[in-house]
Structure 1
Amino acid sequence: MRLIRLLKYDLAREAEDWVDDGVISEAQAELICARYQVDYRSARQRSLGYNVLVGLAYLFIALALITLIGANWEEIPRALRMGGLIALTLVTQWVALRAYCTGDRRAGEGLFLLGNFFFGAAIILIAQIYHLGEHMPDGIFWWALGCLPFALITRSPWLAIQANVLALLWFFLQVSMGYYPALFPLFIAQSLYVLLRGRASTILMLLLVVSIGFWIEFSLSEFWRGEQLGAGLEFYSENLAVAVSLFILLYTFSHWLALRASPVAKDYAAVISVWCLRFALASLLVFSFEQPWEALIEADWQHRLSMWLVVAVMATVTLLLALPARRLISSGLLYVFFIGALITVSSSDNQDLAMYLQVATNFALIGCGSWLIYRGIHDGISHYFFLGVMSILITALLRYIDLIGDYLGASLIFILFAGLLLGAAKYWKYHQGREGAQ
């Protein structure tokens, strides 16, 4: 999937400049934008900067009022304090609802955001008045829950993001104190609903994916911890296996999503694919050293059965998605490498195996870099090309640092990398020549 989908609104604005310069006609600009499912005329009026400035202005209004109230807090009678906070919140939300219902939806959404900030401030300050601070995360939970209805009614991505961010804050505070956030899926469901029924939002989509990942991992961690004493977030070696399996599933899901007719689905697919690729390269760079493999071999794999069950379920879903997406071979190879490494580290205590796994990871990293360079040249995707080159260069640098003192080994690795890059350059020249001949 081409990464130009992520820059399609910039393309629309560039097309406007081309029309103004007489390079293309307005009809041609509309055809170019239509190819990427962008309305040329509406994109010209699209102003992210305006929306950001208005949102920040509302935020600073909220901060100014909260600061003003806080500065004179002790001088205000208790009844007036509480009544004023409630009145400020209700009036702001009423004005927002009125603006939204009369057709000015963007202004309504901005005022809803402001009203939600006032609602949070009211919770905090009223709790301070009546000394209600026994379990601090409860206040954030009620704040997030209060934002929820407005996100569902308006189906606004920004209101859903506000609720989801607060829910994540509550999630981490809860788990840090040893409590399970049982109602967190409620906020996941609202984000999913807004994504499906509201405007497109890449930020909300990524936030939803992150929220699902954290919830799955912590739920498994709580299940594996069982009746053991101790509070706070605790991850096991099995969590890493589940995380890798999740990213393979996400990668395959992105290709399945790219087959949907909806242009929004294609945009989401491109974003998910890019971030999965970055995660894969970062993970391979970490495991290109011997120490992480040694730590995994030394780890206590006490929950193998349930871990394998979760991995098997995810692998099954991955392969079912890979079949229509025509990614059966690539997804299968990823799982072969992953499951082979997982079996090795979870069932053996031989530390010598760490070196072989390190070597295999370095070869996988070189293979990924070479594949990205090939894709970048063959399909004309500059992001893939430079990502592949950077992965090879970083690998070379890391191996040089790792092999200082072993000059022969470092020289052989550098020769190998030089050969790969020269081969890529030759293929680029051949590909350019063939395109020129056509």
Structure 2
Amino acid sequence: MPRQRMEPGEHGRITERVVKTKTPNGSHSETFYATTYVRDSDGKRRRVERSSLKSGEDARRLLQRHLKDRRPPVAATQEVTERTTLSELFEIWIVAKAAEDGVSEQTAGQYRQVWTKHAANQLGALRIREVDTTVAHGHVQRMGATTQAKRLRMILLGMFSMAVRFGVIAVNPIRETKPTKAAPKEVTRKISSEDLERVRAALREYADREGPGPRPGRLLPAFVDLLVATGARPNEVLALRWSDCNVGGDPPTVTIRGTLIDHGRIVGKPLHRQDRRKGGAPEHTVKLPRVGVDALEELKSHTSGEGPVFANRDGGWVSLSNMRRSLRAALPEDLRATITPHTFRRAVATVVRDNLGPEKAQQQLSHAKLATTEKHYLQRHTEGPDVRAVLDEYTGVRE
């Protein structure tokens, strides 16, 4: 008897499999996958999969949860009408955004999280023509001066631009909306040499403490030293592999080629390495000062193979969330409120600017534009240069 064909919306039997990966220390790590096929409303049969590092049952549970909320892919050419709700429009827009603009899974996941939390229940049931500038502006303003408000405005702007292209409305009502303006944010003050030495001493003491069980801060001193040595983003440092390091070179270097994506940043995916930098930026090679060389040599003495420089006990990647938690626990109490892993990138930028100029700071941080470095990473000068001789000459006044 031939197998009965699935009805649109149904899925088949869920199968499980385990993939074992050999780690640099010779052990094996396991990733569990749960897979099924879904027949969508367009009649096409599509493979759907979720993974877990815990167990096959956990992967199955994640897949079942995804199937419950899953919406079938929508063609960008599907008709948008005046009866289309904003929730329906969002689904059409997010698919078109990925197809036309090539946004990453991580970015699409961030858009979906913002929509789910701040708009799906608040605006989702409204039809396109029922949302005008007043409604949208009021909603965005109530969210306050937050990054989420700016991101939601960008999402709504894209959605209603699509509605304009379909001829449902003539003018995009989101263009005149404005999120609440935040007060100018001063760049975190650079960490003084004295405070940096206090931080490094506190991290070494935290990593070397004695007691039962594993020590979660054992990699912390080397992590902070490499942040200071490179000025790289924290997840770029954690994504380093030994093949990216040339400690014996003249000069010694590391080349930043990827970044870590933490668990949950992309729905259904665990912590993993993305083999490209933020925004698709090119590879960036940094010359290492002595502190960076010492950190790598210390790490190399405890690891083997060509895998992660910062490897957990199973040889896998280390989460920034765990590093951030350990840093907070290790820091002196008076510095906990002001120092995070990203603070060291800003501190490096300011130190390089003060000694070598802003262009060198831009090059060290690998920014495409000097304006980005100056606006977000350099502590502002609050004392003018000594230009007395120039002004005396200009005015003709002499002592």
TM-score class normalised by the smaller sequence: under 0.3
Looking at secondary structure, tell me which structure has more helix per residue. 1
Which structure has more relative contact order (CA 8 Å, sep 6+)? It is 2
Q: TM-score, normalised by structure 1?
A: 0.22
TM-score, with structure 2 as normaliser: 0.24
